[in-house]
Amino acid sequence: MAQDSSENEKYFLLKSLDDLDREFAKGDITDKDYSQLTRNYKRRLIKLTKEETLSRKEPKLQNTKKTWVTVISLVVLALISGLAIANSSGERTGSETITGSIRKSNVTKLQEAQQLLGDSETWGQAISIYDEVLEDQPSNVEALTYRAWLRYRIGEDSDPLIKDWREVRILNPEFADAIIFLTIALSDESKFSEALIELQELQQLEITSQLRSVLDSQGLIGKVYAEAKYDLLQNAEQPNLYELEMNTQTALEAANYLLQSDKAQRSVSALKLFRAILEDDPSNPEASSRQALLLAQTGDVALYQRAINQINFAVSQNPRNIEVLLTRAILISSSDSQTACSDLNTVLGILELETTEVSSQVSQQVDNLFSSLTCGQ
């Protein structure tokens, strides 16, 4: 077990050195950081090599029975320790021996730090707590991740913080918190191709509702995909979802991001995304509705008629979908108020079955449309 642990740490150190070389070659880390980290990792490798050499020179115990008892005892102890570590947050490499009292103390510290994250006035305290944890456990992924995030939020230089998150990605490739924070930082630095790689790995993982809300509040998925694939959208006549590396929901979010951006030809790019969705799913209600609105807004008579035909088809395929019904009511309000009012009545009937705040807001909008169309009068 000790040899396995030593071999695991050697693998981690060698891989880290390779990663440092790649990052340094790309200019992602400074000369100072590269020299310091390389020196530290090599020092740890030398120490491990010396320990292995000394271990090989130790004389074998003559009492075979006693040797086997010792080995079995160590194996049992290692298994128990491994189970305890696997069920706790903190050190994931198994390269350091940590007593139960220290681990319990660090778990408590991490819980205290988490309680300080919601108030920017207490971020300094949280950073200090994470520093304490990392003194005991230099590879604690939670402390590394959240200390870097708080430092990022208070405006520190992003390069060393990105390096911290990349180190966490090596220690625990499935720690979603680090992936999200790294993606945000790369996106803010306009490194959208790198951010897309991280985001695609994140989409393969199960994440908590809290992390999902971070993604949604940042509009991160739409932004990263739209920016990373913007040149393709501009240069290709009509890319499909496979070429764009998007699914339906991703393409919808990317289109929404583009429509709210100040990019040139943003409407054309959004239309290409909607067409890519409809090529894969011809009756998709969101893509049908939003594409129809864009076509109608051009002012071109032929495109307006095409929009009407499309939204009529969308309603026939999705007769209980609120978005398509509202879109048709808006588009035909001046030419067919009777059908528009019927669509609005259907929407109200659907909303009566729901009690969410969003439903209340939509109901108010529908009431306003009713008033403008004088429905029921």
Q: Domain extents for the chain?
A: 1-52+75-82, 219-281, 290-377
Per-residue model confidence (pLDDT) at position 218: 81
Given 1.10.3470, 2.60.40, 1.10.1760, 1.25.40, which CATH number is that of 290-377? 1.25.40
- In the chain, the percentage of residues whose pLDDT exceeds 90 is 45
Enter the tokens of residue 19: 């990663």
Q: What is the pTM of this model?
A: 0.67
List the single range of 173-177, 213-217, 250-254 with lowest mean pLDDT.
213-217
pLDDT above 80 (res 343): yes
Enter the tokens of residue 250: 């991703």
List the single range of 37-51, 101-115, 198-212, 224-238 with lowest mean pLDDT.
37-51
Contacts of 30 (CB under 8 A, 6+ apart): 159
pLDDT tier, 3 (very low <50, low <70, confident <90, very high otherwise): low
316, 306 in Cβ contact below 8 A?
no
244, 229 in Cβ contact below 8 A?
yes
Per-residue model confidence (pLDDT) at position 77: 40
CA distance 201 to 114: 25
* DSSP state for residue 372 in the 8-state scheme: H
Q: Which of 83, 80, 84, 132 is nearest to 108 (CA)?
A: 132
pLDDT tier, 61 (very low <50, low <70, confident <90, very high otherwise): very low
Per-residue model confidence (pLDDT) at position 71: 40
Q: What is the pLDDT of residues 29-58, one digit of tens each?
A: 666 666 667 666 666 766 666 566 555 544
- In the chain, the percentage of residues whose pLDDT exceeds 70 is 67
Contacts of 148 (CB under 8 A, 6+ apart): 161, 164, 165, 181
Quick check: helix, strand or coil at residue 93? Answer: coil
Q: Which of 97, 98, 78, 93 is nearest to 9 (CA)?
A: 93
| Residue tagged 């209600």 (tokens) | 285
CA distance 311 to 335: 14
What is the number of other CB atoms lying within 10 angstroms of the CB of residue 151?
18
Q: How many CA atoms lie within 13 A of 29 on its CB side?
A: 24
